[in-house]
């Protein structure tokens, strides 16, 4: 069976690498990007889940989410931030899949799996 493909966007290389390691250990395929622009340039072909940092140069997490939802409205998107002020902003409220750094890696993996199974059913 094909492993689901997860796209990961973060401008901090350390965080990006750690996310890749986490998701690979949970038997996902990953494709990592240093910016939203890089992801858009590459395309969403085969991507089943998107995990993105919010604060990034160029297109930030919120813009990226809006853009990919135009192409695939059902695509599960997880946004993460280290800035608690951003998490408290109006545009972040009521959104599923919103995470504050640092978060429990197992919880992220569980949430991603649940999103995929919800989508299949």
Partner 1 sequence: MDRRGGSQEPPRTKAVEAAKLVERITGNAWATDAIGNFIYLTPAALASLKASLESLNSPPDNNSSGWRRIIHPEDYDAAAEAWRRCLKTGEHYSVEHRMPRANGVYGQVRSSGQPTYDADGAIAGWYGTFIDIDAPPRTLEVELRERERQLQQLIDSVPALIWSTMADGTPTYVNKPFTEVTGATLEDITAPDRSASLGVVHPEDRAAAREAFLRSVASGTPYIQRYRQHRADGNYHWTETRAHPSRDEAGLIVEWYGVSSDIDDLIATQDALRESEQQLQQLVETLPALIYCALPDGKPIYRSKRLREYLGLNLEETDGLGKTRLEGTLDAVIHPDDLVEVKRRYAHSLATGEPYLLRHRLRRFDGVYRWVETRASAMRNGDGEIVQWNGICLDIEDQVIAREELSRAQENLTRSSQAASLAELSASIAHEVNQPLSAVMNYSSACQRWLTAGPPNIERALKALDRLVQSANSAADVVSRIRALFKQSTDKRDSAELGTVVRQARDLLAEEAGRRRITMNIEGESGLRLVPFDRVQIQQVLVNLMRNGMDAMASVSSERVLDIRAFRAGDMVRIEVKDRGRGIQFPDKIFEPFFTTKDDGMGMGLAISRSIIESHGGQLWAEKNEPLGAILVFTLPLDVAKMP
Contacts of 60 (CB under 8 A, 6+ apart): 36, 54
User: Residue 14 or residue 74: which is nearer to partner 1 going by CB?
Assistant: 14
Least distance from C-beta 115 to partner 1, angstroms?
18
> Do residues 82 and 103 make contact, with C-beta atoms less than 8 angstroms apart?
no
* Strand order, beta sheet including 29-33: 29-33, 5-9, 49-53, 77-81, 98-100
Q: Which of 3, 69, 101, 114 lies at the binding interface for partner 1 (CB under 8 A)?
A: 101
Q: Is 12 near partner 1 (CB under 8 A)?
A: yes
Binding to partner 1 by residue 104, rule CB under 8 A? yes
Interaction residues for partner 1, span 42-71 (CB under 8 A): 54-58, 60
Q: Which is nearer to partner 1, 72 or 101 (CB)?
A: 101
Give the nearest distance from C-beta 106 to partner 1 in angstroms.
5
Contact 100, 80 (CB under 8 A): yes
Alpha-carbon distances of 36 from 11, 42, 80, 93, rounded to whole Å: 9, 10, 14, 22
Residues that bind partner 1 (CB under 8 A): 12-15, 17-19, 21-22, 24-26, 34, 54-58, 60, 80, 82-86, 101-106, 108-109
């Amino acid at each position: 069976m094909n492993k689901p493909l997860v796209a990961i966007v973060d401008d901090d290389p350390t965080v990006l690498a750690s996310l890749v390691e986490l998701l690979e250990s949970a038997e996902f395929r990953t494709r990592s990007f240093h910016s939203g622009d890089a992801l858009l340039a590459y395309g969403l072909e085969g991507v089943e889940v998107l995990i993105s940092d919010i604060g990034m140069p160029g297109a930030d997490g919120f813009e990226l989410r809006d853009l990919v939802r135009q192409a695939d409205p059902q695509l599960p998107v997880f946004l993460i931030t280290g800035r608690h002020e951003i998490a408290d902003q109006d545009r972040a409220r009521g959104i599923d899949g919103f995470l504050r750094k640092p978060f429990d890696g197992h919880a992220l993996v569980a949430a991603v799996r649940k999103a995929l199974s919800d989508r299949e059913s």
